[in-house]
Amino acid sequence: MTTLSEAIRTTTPAKPTKPAQAAAPAASRLRRHADGMAVASFILGLLGTLVLNLLLGPCTLVLGTLALARGTTRRGRALLGLTLGATDLLILALLVTTDGTVSWHIGG
């Protein structure tokens, strides 16, 4: 007498597991995250030139570097994010040395 679980085991063929197939979804997921980091780096770099450059400048640099390290397909946006992050910190240094403040405003 066979049980139901034994009958299922004998009738269903075993699926061969291939490491290359299992690694492919993980790689595409990491690349998707890297693309998101590149876009976030670019957007935060743009925002950092206007407000909160003390906070957004380093965040932009970290996100851009991580996106490039993980092999993003949006390499240009990651590089622009790095450039804008460095610009944010340069603006901060300029403001601190000239005005003695960490924020800026338009007008007099």
Residue 48: closest CA among 34, 40, 13: 40
The pLDDT tens digits of the residues spanning 2-55 come to: 666 565 555 555 555 555 555 567 667 767 788 999 999 999 999 998 888 889
pLDDT of residue 5: 59
What is the DSSP-derived secondary structure letter of residue 34? H
pLDDT of residue 29: 72
The pLDDT tens digits of the residues spanning 60-88 come to: 999 999 999 998 999 999 999 999 999 99
pLDDT of residue 20: 54
Q: Does the pTM exceed 0.85?
A: no
- Burial of 83: CB neighbours in 10 Å, binned 0-12, 13-18, 19+: middle
pLDDT of residue 31: 73
Residue 91: closest CA among 54, 60, 63: 54
